[in-house]
Amino acid sequence: MNRMINRLNRHCAYFPCHKGMEDCTFCYCPFYPCKDEHLGHFIITRKKEKIWSCEDCNWIHKKKVVDNIFHMIRRDNPKTRKSQNKLISKETGVIILGHGSKLKDANDSLRRLASEIKRKNGLSIVEPAFLQFSQPDLMATIKKVAAGGCRKIIIVPFFLFAGNHVNRDIPKEIRQAALMHREVGLVYAKNIGAFPKINNIVMDCIRTAAA
């Protein structure tokens, strides 16, 4: 699951409003009043009103809790559920296409990525492939996935920039594969650098180096 960067609002006049602050996304808890006596308690105000106090509760301000809430929101979204149902079906396969390297460790990283994406997201078929320097190549992987019964194959170019490989070489191979596998729909996804969230990854690198 993707986690937003730096969700602590240290510029807030009330920061830290709770002990052990980790996350300010939910400045006002959406579950208030939870009436969970492990997290808070009722108090009597000066106006003699009975209200629920969560002054000592930091549950909603824990990063893991906020991440889980975001995950549930995305999971329960009708469009997300529809897409997920398609992806867990054996009729849909995913190919993570990397550039390929002469270094075995670099290629193994892509293989681990494909395996992790499959495991964490409950997908049925996720295969790594390489444009050059390593095997299996894209054509061989498309053939393998199609032979497994897939009727739709999503090809994800694991490339940062939309250069010649992304705009020319890969589409050319996909067109050739489409002629050989007419029974399968080949879908070419955007490269990872095309998504704004890449900025968050770069900032993670910067913050880690600066620490």
Once rounded to an integer, what is the mean pLDDT over residues 135-163?
Answer: 95
Q: Which two tokens stand for residue 196?
A: 């704004």
Tell whether 8 is covered by a domain: no
Instruction: Give the span between the Cα atoms of 147 and 181, in whole angstroms.
Output: 10
- Lowest pLDDT segment from 17-21, 190-194, 197-201: 17-21
Instruction: Give Cα 66 to chain centroid, integer Å.
Output: 15
Q: Looking at the structure, do residues 192 and 105 belong to the same domain, yes or no? A: yes
Domain boundary residue among 76, 94, 109?
A: 76
Q: Looking at the structure, do residues 177 and 89 belong to the same domain, yes or no? A: yes
Tell whether 194 is covered by a domain: yes
Q: Looking at the structure, do residues 68 and 107 belong to the same domain, yes or no? A: no
Residue 195 has pLDDT above 80, yes or no: yes
Percent of the chain with pLDDT over 70: 90
Mean pLDDT, rounded, of the chain = 87
Active site residues: 99
DSSP state of 24: -
Q: Is the pTM of this model over 0.75?
A: no
Once rounded to an integer, what is the mean pLDDT over residues 115-123?
Answer: 90
Residue 178 has pLDDT above 90, yes or no: yes
Q: Looking at the structure, do residues 132 and 192 belong to the same domain, yes or no? A: yes
Q: Looking at the structure, do residues 32 and 135 belong to the same domain, yes or no? A: no
Q: Looking at the structure, do residues 90 and 191 belong to the same domain, yes or no? A: yes
Higher pLDDT, 186 or 56: 186
User: In this predicted structure, what is the pLDDT of residue 127?
Assistant: 97
Q: Looking at the structure, do residues 122 and 52 belong to the same domain, yes or no? A: no
CATH number at residue 176: 3.40.50.1400
Instruction: Give the span between the Cα atoms of 20 and 57, in whole angstroms.
Output: 9
Task: Give me the domain span that covers residue 68.
Answer: 15-76
User: In this predicted structure, what is the pLDDT of residue 83?
Assistant: 62
Q: Looking at the structure, do residues 105 and 60 belong to the same domain, yes or no? A: no
Q: Looking at the structure, do residues 120 and 170 belong to the same domain, yes or no? A: yes
**Tens-place pLDDT, residues 84-111:** 656 666 789 999 999 999 999 999 999 9
Q: How many domains does the chain have?
A: 2
